[in-house]
Structure 1
């Protein structure tokens, strides 16, 4: 998960940090599964990427267990968080899947591809990977096609600023440049 200057570089704000803090992105939880391994993380880098066919893209940190699991998966769920979901964001944004079962105690159903769908998040999409772009940075872009979408109606999203106090499950120094 990203954040202000402390989340990115651990130092003084740069002009880039200031600009990015002003964006205050809504947060989502991306989940996936591969070979019986469930994974999920909070994502702040994501956007609609096509209208026809419906496409969505998100960026995964190379430091995350979810990224490593995603290399063996073609299917994902994108859960849009509301202001009521701070605890869920903390669970998926401050713990690492290498050490913790983030799904333990959650009401989760597995879709037809084994991807965990969090029932407490009615605003979500099930998506299929189209491509992965690795430009050498600390995140990779996963482009997808939307298989299905569900919404309970208008909601107030949980934003990056709401979670700025979180300590990420991995330090910035752990963000690998290669898998």
Structure 2
């Protein structure tokens, strides 16, 4: 097996909080594997670890909400990245509201979008959720200020709520 670490250790990309609701259960987690994957039609792929409770809820969800955070939102990053929904209801102490299609929108997120799940792709220990965007907002005015975004480098000291595999 080829070790990809010499390449991936050079990367610093945005981190996202993905929220899902399926069959009345809600979940959310911090995600680093995500990207726009088509311009026309617009599509975005989010990869969720099979070990994560959010993956199990997202399997039953029609939509996912994808949130950007600012660098100074360490509390939210730690909650959604360092706690597991198996033991903690992450939504108890976080302000949120229902968004398009009943999605879960974090009030503190400066930017977010909701996407309808179009497909799921096996990627090994992660599954990709192909999202067709239905609504997007930038209430925090992040557009053009990429230095404000929470990135992978900002999260190295957050111990994951679950191991990756």
Please report the TM-score for the alignment, with normalisation by the length of structure 1: 0.84
2:18 is the alignment partner of 1:30: yes
Counterpart secondary structure, 1:90:
helix
Counterpart secondary structure, 2:77:
helix
2:106 is the alignment partner of 1:148: no
Distance across 1 between alignment mates of 2:3 and 2:100: 45
Q: Does the 8 Å CA contact 1:34/1:70 hold for their aligned counterparts?
A: yes
Please report the TM-score for the alignment, with normalisation by the length of structure 2: 0.91
Pick from 132, 153, 157 the counterpart of residue 149 of structure 2: 157
Q: Does the 8 Å CA contact 1:38/1:115 hold for their aligned counterparts?
A: no
1:77-118, Cα deviation, whole Å (9 max, x unpaired):
100111122211110001111110111121100124332100
Distance across 2 between alignment mates of 1:92 and 1:21: 23
**Higher mean Cα deviation, 138-147 or 150-159?**
150-159
In structure 1, stretches of 5+ residues that fail to align are 1-13
2:86 is the alignment partner of 1:98: yes
How many pairs align? 159
1:113-165, Cα deviation, whole Å (9 max, x unpaired):
33210011131111111100014x11011111110111123332111111101
Counterpart secondary structure, 1:60:
strand
Distance across 1 between alignment mates of 2:10 and 2:70: 19
Counterpart secondary structure, 1:22:
coil
Distance across 1 between alignment mates of 2:163 and 2:44: 27
Which has a greater percent of strand?
2
